[in-house]
Chains A and B, each alone.
Chain A
Amino acid sequence: MNIDSRFVKVRLTVFVMLPLLLLSGCKGEEDDTIEFRQSRRWVEKTIALVAPTSADAATKTRFERTAAWFLDNLHQSQLHDTLCIDLKLEWHDELTEDLAQLGEELATREDVLAVVGPFGNDAVAQLAPACQKTHKPVIAPTATSEDVIRRFAVGTAGVANKEPFLWALTETDITFCEVLMSMYAAYIRSIGEDPRNSTPAAMFSPNDSYGRTFYDWGPYQAEEMGIPFSHNELYTDDADLHSRLKAYYDELSQLPVFGSFSIGTFCIIESLQQLLDIARLRMEWWDMDPDVPRDESSRELDRQMLEFWGRTYFAFSNLRQEDLDALGPEKVDVLYYYQGFSPYADPTTGFELSYEVKFGDKPTFAECKLYDALMLAAFAASYVEHNPSAAELNTRFNDAIIKITTPQERQLSGAAWNTTSMELYLNAMERGQLMDFKGASGDIRFDSETFTSSIHTTYVHWQIKNGRLTHQNYLSSDGSRRIAPALAAWNWLVQNPEEDFASEADNKDVTFTYPALTAQYAVLVQGSNGWNNYRHQADVLNVYQMLKKNGFDDDHIILVIDKALASDSKNPEPGIIRAEDGGQDLKAGSSLDYDNADLSPADISNILLGVKTDKTPVVLPKDAGQNVLLFWSGHGHNRVANGADELAWRNEEAGQGMTADLLGQTISQMQQQGIYRKMLVLTEPCFSETVITPLVGIPGVLAMSSAGRYEQSFADNWNSTLGVWRCDRFSRNLVVHLTAFPTTTYRDLYLYCAQRTLGSHVHIVNSANFGNLYTSGPQEFFQKQ
């Protein structure tokens, strides 16, 4: 609705008005009509604000007062302009509403300019797919799950989306992991120790989309920082967290370093109750009763000792003073000195201080980001109004966000969140000028390739003292070791792949002698099953098609996949498997040797060993002159996370897969029985360094895994229609590089995969028993000779 039509009509006599009109430059005549009109045009824009307002009264109050403060500042800041945005908020509760349905509704409503929220990761995952279809802008203030955000990213990193619509204002928790790990590594170094010799670190994360990023990336970041890792655990609920931590503390007490200051424990928590439970557990572990007030004389020392022993770095956002107050003084005393970290506002914007002066309390992380989300929406709305175009409104709004968050030559020299600085910014925009600006929480910048993800976040180091929430320090990461500081955190580049390769392949000058090549075989295995594992089948079939293109016939490829997957009812293209949207049908022309539903890992072992049984009629021949490629895609387990180091088998329990021992024994027997000349083992699953490690020492075998022993292996190419990832990064990189460079060396293949398999460290083992990786290449396994 345009408000500029509210004219006030007044008819006045020229006797009164004429002299005045002449003075002001207008020539008045008798019967002229004088109309009073407003000097500025207010354009009403509606933003759907999806927030967890029903969480509790304090949350609702905080959201409402922050939004009201912003709206007031926005209104006041435009009183010098002629075209002004009258922002209206339509509140929705992300905790009680059906978000998928809400997403469908908002995505098609023309009166809703954009959606701000939801704030939770799972909530974003539910609402965003519908908005993706219409490119309805969604500004997600606090979603930090790498998996959720990357699904909706645009650009080159294995993501198929072409047009941005989701704007995440906080970096993913990959960066949070980096901050936690780098701080710990710096601390270890500062006390004169080498992180590599310190007590292995442990991380406990909730088993949800929030915790998953820490679980997935913690070990990766630890490896980047040179920190050894021993525990990477997902907990299901408070009781599970309690028991896991207790077991961990019991283990710690057995270590010679018990009591050392160099213990790094990282605990990702979501409630103050969890923090309290952990603090109480630690007291109980020391045979102290947390319900008995401590002796006054030793109280201070006790408090410090209890917090310092086996210090835990908590990742906990949105801690509030009112929650501490609600605990009461005795419980809060148990938490004395406890400290942790949270994404927050850059202190140089002054937002935190102004908020405290205005409301007498610190803003939460969510409020800082809510303010920025509303500001970004308002600025983009203003840009759209000032720059008319025939393009579709959603596209114009998304383009406006890109435009106003792209670095400009002119700077506002500070934050633009308060009335007067917002006035300067909007006034310049009205005059056709764009300036760099900071929001309440700092720089608002997005990845220059994938757009969706923020590339700057400030983290606050908080501590509880005297029952008060205090802010000790502020930290941030600007992508020091990512491909570029303008890219999303999941584009983190492995720091020194060449050095890693050199340390793993140190036989540059050794020569090996092999019998003449007589044949080439490939065994391609999908270890998983079910629709959600679409990507694993695509990985296997991708390699299969490459081999076929390179001259292999089906008699030399043993293909093992989940037969039912391609015809799953969720597949809109029954029988078709693609590794990327619009890509080749990888299933076409394939010749299936085995449905993995009919086999077990022991049968795979028989296939490799050339043992024909009723279940394994097609096996490798026994030929000491043949090269054998084993490629495996699926899930992985490791001893710490699941109880066994193995390539998982379908839905079998841990321990029922292709264990590291079984694979090692099988290939060792193959060597002893003369079943191969040279063998290349490539493993895609998580943690799969664990299963290739036992191959070290077996002559003629080279093995490469996508991930380290505590690391996840990451998927690529999310497809919202299918609801699955289409492929995995390592496999995709493998095929891309081998297709483009058929005569590549092992070294170059490793470097390509290591630098592009983002999120895990590619490992290569046993070169000392295989050959010179600088001069020989995998052509002997992938190209028909």
Chain B
Amino acid sequence: MKKYFVWLAAALLAAACTKDGDTIYLPDPNEEKASTAPLVTVVYDANALGDHSYNDLIYEGVERVAQELGLRTIQQSPSTYEEGLQYLELMFSQMEAAQDSVRRLFVVTSPGYDEFIRKNNHRLESNPNADLLYLETRTPLEGKGSTLFLSYYGAMYEGGRILSALEEAHGLLIGANHQTPAVTDAMQGFTDGYEAGLKLLTEHQISLCHLSSTYLDETGAEGFSVSDTVAMRLLRQWLKDTDLLIPVCGGASKTFLRLIGSSFWGGNIIGIDVFHDSYYSPYSIVKHIDRAVAQSIRQWINDGAMPKHQLLGIKEGYTEVILNPICDLHIWIPEGYTGTTAPRLTLEMKQEMHEEAVRKEEEYEH
């Protein structure tokens, strides 16, 4: 009974009561309460979901960790950039104004909203229960909020090393644009790995190798999506001179991967971000962004906060190269090779390349 009155007193103080004649109305203490579980809100780039790639991975990672930890989620994929900004403003306003003790984490998935985030993150400081996780930036936030950067350099380096080891492979690196750091880093990693591998070849072998690059948006910061019609035209053009495409262009990569996998284009393509299970995809360079985001959310829940800035990559296992078991990768015939069949890339060779990639990523990022 004593416990009951303590509770009742608290309820009375917390909730308004009304009186009508001789009757005082109080809230029913047994009434079902609205959930106060921590709320994770994620805002994506415009029309980002449905890419079967980076963004879908984040969505799944968040939903899985929410299921595991009993969190509530709102994941919004606006239809335009402006709509995304409006939503960000709405969410920041609500977090600023929130008077309750509900813990709220706000996740921004790409640097598309960088200017807004860096101008407004201080607004969250008035709410001790609000926090921010900003992905894909190397520059930590000043003031409230954490950042997480998943380096793709090492995995791409390993991918480039593998390509140089393959016999007479002609590759084409396809970047979304010159301006997005995640794209240029990845392309640099692949090129560095490829060039490092060339040093191990003979002059004759080198003369038979080729790696070139192109950008979908030569002048701007776009190039992350492409229509099927344009993609098919480009594929016809590219595959005249190359036989392996390395598409580092977000959602557009998915279009190229899908098209190559569904028709006889006569070319191959490397899976980007997620493992691409196709006869035409000899290996994939994978980002486990879902695991990285889930891990950060666990830290936020369990430790009360996330590290101010996290740089994760191939060493921590958040990126990796996965060989497609249904594809045979024929390598250059090594000097003194006496086998009767064309030599293939072995797991031991790949492991050596991986260790080299780990070292190179550390050098690059520091």
Contacts and interface: CB of A to CB of B under 8 A. Distances in A.
A617 B281 CA distance: 79
Nearest to B235: A190
Given A350-B59, A420-B72, A39 B23 contact: no
Nearest to A19: B9
Contacts of A190: 228-229, 232-233, 236
Interface string A30-48: 0111111111100000000
Contacts of B228: 183, 186-187, 190, 473
Contact of A413 (B26, B60, B73, B78): B78
Given A420-B72, A463-B262, A474-B50, A414 B77 contact: yes
A39 B78 contact: no
A642 interface: no
B221 interface: no
B188 interface: no
A521 B85 CA distance: 70
A33 B258 CA distance: 71
Contacts of B8: 20
B232 A411 contact: no
B27 A466 contact: no
B263 A414 contact: no
Contacts of A76: 34-35
Nearest to B254: A473
A348 B49 contact: yes
A39 B27 contact: yes
A339 B279 CA distance: 16
A304 B326 CA distance: 14
B258 to A, nearest CB: 5
A24 B17 contact: yes
A346 B49 CA distance: 9
Given A339-B262, A348-B49, A411-B86, A353 B27 contact: no
Given A23-B12, A24-B13, A413-B90, A191 B32 contact: no
A386 interface: no
A35 B25 contact: yes
A308 B59 contact: no
A24 B14 CA distance: 8
A39 B12 contact: no
B365 to A, nearest CB: 31
A472 B262 contact: yes
Interface in B57-93: 59-60, 63-64, 67, 72-79, 83-84, 86-87, 90
B308 interface: no
Nearest to A465: B277
B19 A413 contact: no
B27 A36 contact: yes
A584 to B, nearest CB: 49
A20 B28 contact: no
B52 interface: yes
B35 A79 contact: yes
Contacts of A550: none
Interface string B1-45: 000010011001101111100111111111111110001000000
A350 B49 contact: yes
Nearest to B9: A20
Contacts of B326: 300
Interface string B250-280: 0000010010001110000000000001010
Interface in A336-371: 337, 339, 346-350, 353-354, 356-358
Nearest to B87: A413
Given A353-B63, A466-B277, A472-B258, A36 B18 contact: no
B34 A24 contact: no
Interface string A74-95: 0010011000000000000000
A37 B27 contact: yes
Contact of A420 (B73, B79, B279): B73
Given A261-B263, A471-B52, A414 B87 contact: yes
A21 B39 CA distance: 34
Interface in A37-72: 37-40
Main secondary structure of the interface of B (DSSP, over half): mixed
A706 B236 CA distance: 41
Contact of A34 (B24, B73, B255, B279): B24
Given A191-B232, A357-B67, A25 B16 contact: yes
B28 A37 contact: yes
Contacts of B31: 38-40
Contacts of B73: 418, 420
A390 interface: no
B346 to A, nearest CB: 22
A192 interface: yes
Contacts of A391: none
A20 B4 CA distance: 14
A16 interface: yes
A308 B263 contact: yes
Contacts of B5: 16
A350 B262 contact: no
B50 to A, nearest CB: 2
B60 A357 contact: yes
A189 interface: yes
Contacts of B356: none
A137 to B, nearest CB: 28
Contacts of A80: 34
Given A348-B77, A472-B258, A35 B24 contact: yes
Contact of A21 (B12, B22, B86): B12
Given A79-B34, A350-B75, A350-B77, A23 B13 contact: yes
B60 A191 contact: no
A159 B258 CA distance: 43
B295 to A, nearest CB: 17
A39 B28 contact: yes
Nearest to A36: B28
A187 B262 contact: no
B47 interface: yes
Nearest to A346: B50
Contacts of B263: 261, 308
Contacts of B33: 79
B13 A191 contact: no
B67 A36 contact: no
Given A411-B86, A414-B78, A418-B73, A31 B22 contact: yes
Contacts of B16: 24-25
A740 interface: no
A321 interface: no
A79 B32 contact: yes
B172 to A, nearest CB: 18
B83 A473 contact: no
A55 to B, nearest CB: 29
Given A32-B19, A34-B23, A190-B228, 11 more contacts: A21-B12, A24-B16, A40-B31, A308-B263, A347-B50, A347-B56, A350-B75, A353-B49, A357-B64, A357-B67, A472-B258
14 contacts: A23-B13, A32-B23, A34-B24, A35-B25, A35-B26, A39-B27, A40-B31, A76-B34, A79-B34, A348-B47, A349-B49, A353-B56, A471-B52, A473-B255
**For the complex of A and B, 6 pairs with smallest distance between CB atoms:** A347-B50, A190-B232, A79-B34, A414-B76, A413-B87, A348-B77
Interface of B: 5, 8-9, 12-13, 15-19, 22-35, 39, 47-50, 52, 56, 59-60, 63-64, 67, 72-79, 83-84, 86-87, 90, 228-229, 232-233, 236, 255, 258, 262-264, 277, 279, 326
